[in-house]
Amino acid sequence: MRIEEVDFHYLSMPVVRNIGDGSQDALLVQVTMDDGTVGFGECEAAPLVSIAAWCCPMSHSACKPLKSTVLGYEINSAEDIRRLTFEVRRNSFDLLQTDHTLSGIDMALWDALGKKTGRPAWSLLGYRQCFAKTAYASQLVGETPQETFEEAKKAREGGFKATKFGWGPFGQGTVEDDVAHLEAAREGLGDDRVLMIDAGTIWHEDIAAARKRIDALKKCNALWLEEPFHCGALAEYAELSGDGVPLAAGEGSHNPSLAKQMMDFGKVKYIQIDAGRIGGLTSAYEVAEYARRKGVVYVNHTFTTYLALSASLQPFAGMESSYWCEYPVESTELAQTLTTKPIRPDGDGRIQISSEPGLGMEVDFGTVRRFERKVQIDIDNNIIWKSK
């Protein structure tokens, strides 16, 4: 079957606030094949910019819009999708936004191929079976330690075996402020639950600042410290990794090489991949396989919809030793209603991975209509993009 059409639906909450909640908008990608098969994916990316990367005029032979490679491409096997990913990157490698746009398209193609063949994406990727993952609730740090405590208690009562706190005021005030949040989180969770901490790159390249929190992180028994530094600060990651708190990072990786370098040179113990940024399932699976060989635990990075969550699980579905699953608990109405059914932890706080064809999710077009923003781009008065 050939790729006949690619639609981008730019969805957004009516008001987008200046907070670290990535579920306030979404770029839904709908791929239609010439035999009528339809697949869906999602870019975890700036929607307008990602659409522009799809439809912009060519600048030169290595700076082409994605549509010039994707439209008309024949997709009948996993190998075809892998080859397309390779060709898109070769034809568009001077177009920086490429990987983010590619992510949603690649996802949608695995979804379409799954629907065509009746197989789940994880099976097409190469796994024989899939394993349930233990969900960790992903929460923003509260404005006050009391708020953090309440959120932790709520997560515990919600049945989560693990909770990750991050962003919000964490790392922006004094060490004492952060220690108070860490203690509150642990107290709210209780000693029998797992706690992870996400610094959201707040210390940039400042190892000393990160080090001041290490004792408290140990005291509250944090499983990992996530993103103490920006994603290029590999030497700083490597140095801090010696301090006894395992590091986690990788969500900023927009291609497999960057994720591999985070493991090889940054010495992280948990590699966190957003399938909506790294180039889709093809690239995420490549990283998962590499992580397995290196003894690094693969973790999905997901803060948005259930479609994105399902997609994010496929690349490591068959990897028993990578058992954590990031689970967003504070996402927007848009994110929670984009699919006709949610993905919820079971009674043991675990996420069961669907064996339905493709990504196993159905898009609710009522939600799409409700939240869609209509984009039109003209160059010299010619329409080069118009939302349907």
Among the residue ranges 21-29, 30-38, 117-125, 149-157, the one whose residues contact a copy of itself (CB under 8 A): 21-29
Residue 368 near a copy of itself by CB under 8 A:
no
Residue 374 contacts a copy of itself per CB under 8 A: yes
Distance CA 195, CA 182 (A): 9
Q: Between 39 and 279, name the residue whose CB sits nearer to a copy of itself.
A: 279
**Which residue shows structure tokens 């000393």?**
208
In contact, 138 and 351? CB cutoff 8 Å: no
Closest CB 63 distance from a copy of itself, rounded Å: 6
Near a copy of itself by CB under 8 A, which window of 178-186, 209-217, 258-266, 279-287? 258-266
How far apart are the C-alpha atoms of 267 and 34, rounded to whole Å? 45
> Quick one: 239 or 264, whose CB is closer to a copy of itself?
264
Tell me the torsion sign for CA atoms 141, 146, 151, 155.
positive
The strand pairing partners of 351, in sequence order, are 133
Give 371's Cβ-side CA count (13 Å radius).
26
Q: How far is the CB of 141 from a copy of itself (least distance, A)?
A: 13
Which residue lies nearer to a copy of itself by CB, 39 or 256?
256
Cα separation, 252 vs 249, whole angstroms = 8
Among 21, 178, 198, 326, binds a copy of itself (CB under 8 A): 21
By C-beta, is 189 or 199 nearer to a copy of itself?
199
Give phi and psi for 101, each to the nearest 5.
-70, -45
Nearest CB to a copy of itself, comparing residues 61 and 174: 61
Q: Using alpha carbons only, give the angle 194, 195, 200 rounded to the nearest 5 degrees.
A: 145
Q: Which stretch binds a copy of itself (CB under 8 A): 86-94, 123-131, 147-155, 174-182?
A: 86-94
Are 260 and 281 in contact, with CB atoms under 8 Å apart? no
Nearer to a copy of itself, 97 or 123 (CB): 97
Cα–Cα distance for residue pair 175/113, rounded to 1 Å? 50
As measured in angstroms, the least distance from the Cβ of 323 to a copy of itself is 27
Quickly count: other Cβ atoms within 10 Å of residue 242's Cβ: 8
Does 100 participate in binding a copy of itself (rule CB under 8 A)?
yes
- Binding site residues, a copy of itself, CB under 8 A: 10, 12, 16, 18-22, 24-25, 44-49, 51-53, 56-63, 65, 89-90, 93-97, 99-100, 200-201, 204, 230-235, 252, 254-258, 260-261, 264-265, 277, 373-381
